[in-house]
Structures are given as C-alpha cells and as structure tokens.
Amino acid sequence: MTDHVFIAGPASWNRIVELDRLPEPVPHMQLALGDWETVGGTSAGKALSLAGLGRPVVLHTLLGGDAEGERVRAALTAADIELLAGNGGATERHLNLMTRDGGRLSLYLTTPDDSDDAPAAEVVSAMAGAAVIVLDLAPLSLGLIAAARETGRPIWTDIHDYDGEAGFHRPFIEAADAIFMNADRIGDDPLPFMERCISGGASLVVCTLGADGAIAVDQRMTRHTVATEVVTVRDTNGAGDAFMAGVLDATLAGVPLPDALQAGARQAASVLTTRHLHPSLDALLGA
C-alpha cells in the first residue's frame, strides 16, 4: 500500500477582489483594496497543503481546455501534485469578494459539466491504492462514493457550512469515516450534530470555529479542542482546507489526535499569510 492521498473535487481559477466590507444589497459604488488571480477550489487547497507537507497526492478534478484550465494545471503540477483531470468542458471560475476578516461572497462565473459515466479505471486504481480517500462536495465526488466504499480505504469528507438539513451532503456524511465542517450554519452548538455523526458510524468529526480554533469528537465521544495560531492574516481563502490537510497528514504519520489538531492549526496559519491557497504558489503567481 502506498502513502498517497486521493482527493476528488473542485479546482478552479479565481479572481479575488479585496474589500473593506462586503457589498450591501443596494446600488452603490465601492473601492477595492486590491485584486488578483489565483488557483481556487477546496480540493486544490487540500492537495496543495498536503503536497507542501511532503505527502504524495493524486487529485481528480474537472478542467477545460481553456486558458484558465492550463493555468490551474501548471500551478498544481508545479507543486508535484499528480492530476487525473477529466474533461469538464470549461474550467470552474469564481469571482470572490473578500474581506480580511474572512467575509466572502463567491460568484460562480463558469462551472464544469460532469458526466454520469462510471469512474475511469485509473481513478478507481488511484483510490484503491490510497492511504485515504478524500471526497469533497461536488457531483464528481458524489459519483465516486460507491466505488470508494468498495475499496475499503478510509474516506474523509469536508461538508463546509452544512446546515444540518441539505440533502446533497447526506451521502458524503453517511460514507465518511472522518467529517470536517465549519460552524457557520449548523446553529449555536455543533456538538449534538457531531455526536450524531459518531453514533452513525464516523470515527472523527471536526468543526472549525474561525478565530476560536476548532473542536473535535472522536469515536469514543471524547471532545478535543485546539486554538488558532497567532499570525498576521493576509487572506483567509483555503484556511479550512489547510487545517484538514494538516490533521490528515499527521494522522497518517501516527500522531495522536490532540497533536494532529495542533498540526492542522499550524498548517492553517501557514496559508493565512499568503494571498494564495498555499505559499508554494507565491513564486509562480506572485506574492
């Protein structure tokens, strides 16, 4: 068995516009503090952080034959990520309006077309040989759940700002051994939902709490907490993905959960200091 991580889900090309506040829903003029283009997508963020930690990564995503797709390919392959890129017709593109404290409004400019075809043989092989399979929220990953379960490999997922009700998330939650999320929409207390996930068969559930760190529940229903690392924040894009990547890498190295959570906090802090998903992109795309 190899030690690579298989990740399936979005990679995109984004324009980031930094604002002092998110726009109000009324006609008005607002001055931007800055703007730049960069790689986006939750799966790309996890892959970049894992590769930066020295962990071999296979990323399965959808890209187009357009200029944006070539930029994404170039950036990810330069980071030593093995790409299994399906033909999405067009590369996913976002316009993200951001504030420095983490506020975000994402406008999806283009989305790739996903087919209902069975997973390619190379994708199934990459999953079967992985130490862990990460399935991010996307139609592409939804179509891989059955094949991923058949491999018997651990499945990790990131349900982001799940509200406790959205149906699209349910198959990911039911299939996953480890579930990561944030507390933005789950209510005042995420613990009841987290504990239900453990009762339902998950072995680990982690909820990030922004500046308040993160809380985790393990398979014994033991609660763990971790504080954030203190850094000067330049951009918050990708911090949650980096946190999950840090925890995953440490877990594969045999590190106990409290220390793995600390590793996640350190990895999240490392991407808060760059305007890209990972500092490794600074040299390629501009610091």
Give the residue ranges of the chain where pLDDT is below 50: 1
Evaluate whether residue 93 is within a structural domain.
yes
pLDDT of residue 49: 98
Using alpha carbons only, how large is the chain's radius of gyration in Å? 18
Evaluate whether residue 29 is within a structural domain.
no
What's the half-sphere exposure (Cβ side, CA atoms, 13 Å) at 202?
27
Evaluate whether residue 237 is within a structural domain.
yes
pLDDT of residue 263: 98
205, 216 Cβ separation under 8 angstroms: yes
Evaluate whether residue 108 is within a structural domain.
yes
Q: What is the CATH number of the domain that holds 43?
A: 3.40.1190.20
- For residue 45, give the DSSP letter: H
Evaluate whether residue 70 is within a structural domain.
yes
Evaluate whether residue 287 is within a structural domain.
no
CA 136, CA 142: separation in Å to the nearest integer? 8
**Total domains, the chain:** 1
pLDDT of residue 115: 76
Evaluate whether residue 71 is within a structural domain.
yes
Evaluate whether residue 135 is within a structural domain.
yes
pLDDT of residue 190: 96
Containing domain of residue 229, as a range? 5-21+34-277
* Residue 183 identity: A
pLDDT of residue 1: 46
CA 207, CA 194: separation in Å to the nearest integer? 8
CB atoms within 10 A of CB 241: 30
Task: Report how far apart, in Å, the C-alpha atoms of 246 and of each of 46, 101, 149 are.
Answer: 9, 22, 23
Which tokens sit at 158? 């990131």
